[in-house]
Structure 1
Amino acid sequence: MQRLVATAVALVALVAGLVIYNSLPQAQPQALVYEPARQLQPFTLQGSDGSQVTNERLQGQWTLLFTGYTFCPDICPTTMADLRQIMPSLQQHTDTPVKVWMISVDPQRDHVERIAAYTEFFGPEFFGVRAEHPQLYPFVNNLGLMYSIPDEGATDYLVNHSAAIILVNPAGHLQAIFKAEHTMGEIPTVNMQQLAADFAIIADN
Structure 2
Amino acid sequence: MQKLLISVVAIIALVAGVVIFNSLPKPQPQALVYDPPRELNPFILEGHTGAQLTNADLTGQWTFLFTGYTSCPDICPTTMADLRKALPQLASLAERPVRVWMISVDPKRDTIKKLADYNTYFGSEFMGVRADHQQLYPFVNGLGLMYSIPAADETDYLVNHSSAIVLVNPDGERHAIFKASHQPGELPTVDMDQMIRDFQLIIQQYD
Q: Hey, what does 1:25 align to over in structure 2? A: 25
Q: Hey, what does 1:100 align to over in structure 2? A: 100
Q: Hey, what does 1:179 align to over in structure 2? A: 179
Q: Which letter maps to 1:127? A: M
Residue identity over aligned pairs, in percent, reads 63
Aligned residues: 205
After superposition, give the CA deviation of every residue in 1:17-73 in whole Å (9 maximum; x if it has no partner). 111111111101111110000000000000111110000000000100000000000
Q: Which letter maps to 1:189? A: T
Moved over 4 A (4+): none
Q: Hey, what does 2:54 align to over in structure 1? A: 54
Answering whether residue 128 of structure 2 is matched by residue 131 of structure 1, we say no
Of residues 181-190 and 102-111 in structure 1, the stretch that sits farther from structure 2 once superposed is: 181-190
TM-aligned CA deviation for residue 174 of structure 1 = 0.4
Structure 2 unaligned runs (5+)?
none
TM-aligned CA deviation for residue 10 of structure 1 = 2.9
C-alpha distance in 2, partners of 1:55/1:11? 52
C-alpha distance in 2, partners of 1:20/1:89? 32
Q: Where do residues 17-166 of structure 1 align in structure 2 (5 Å cutoff)?
A: 17-166=17-166
Structure 1 unaligned runs (5+)?
none
Change (3 A) 1:11 1:68: same
C-alpha distance in 2, partners of 1:107/1:159? 11
TM-aligned CA deviation for residue 13 of structure 1 = 2.1
C-alpha distance in 1, partners of 2:8/2:124? 55
After superposition, give the CA deviation of every residue in 1:134-175 in whole Å (9 maximum; x if it has no partner). 000000000011111111121111111000000001100000
How large is the RMSD of aligned CA atoms in angstroms? 1.1
Q: Which letter maps to 1:116? A: A
TM-score, normalised via structure 1 length? 0.96
